[in-house]
Amino acid sequence: MLRVQNFIPTQQVPTCAWCGKDITASGRGRPRKYCSQACRQRAYEQRNNVSGTAIPANAVILTPDRAEELRDSLFELRCAAEDVATAVSEGESPGEVSALCGELVELARKIEKLRS
Ligand SMILES: [Zn+2]
């Protein structure tokens, strides 16, 4: 049997406004915006550095290398999605499809961390 419960969309977990990592719930109080003091500091520095320019204070600024890496990762993600589609259309076993879906989810999770 395909264990579909693994692939029920997970609830949107709050993520760091700087690096995109999941933020573990801190319980009471205002939800945190950053996962760490370091991320808070980097966001603060960027706000200062771009003030007076046309760059939005909260812009996600990527180096060309990092942007290239992300593009590569997205290509990998598309290939993984195509693998799932192919497996389903070829009638692969639920276990096989399930494993491919697991890889797909894992890849997507990595890509969510934009700046890390
Ligand atoms: Zn962070």
The stretches in the chain having pLDDT less than 70 are 1-11, 26, 116
Instruction: Tell how far the Cα of 60 is from the centroid of ligand 1, in angstroms.
Output: 13
Domain edges within the chain: 11-61, 62-116
* Percent of the chain residues past pLDDT 90, beyond the cut: 64
pTM attached to this predicted model? 0.72
What DSSP character marks residue 31?
P
Beta-carbon neighbour count of residue 16 at 10 Å?
21
DSSP string over 32-56: PS-SSHHHHHHHHHHHHHHTTSSS-
pLDDT, one tens digit per residue, over 67-86 is 999 999 999 999 999 999 99
Q: How far is the CA of 102 from the centre of ligand 1 (A)?
A: 25
Contact indicator for 11, 106 with CB cutoff of 8 Å? no
**14 CA distance to ligand 1 middle (Å):** 11
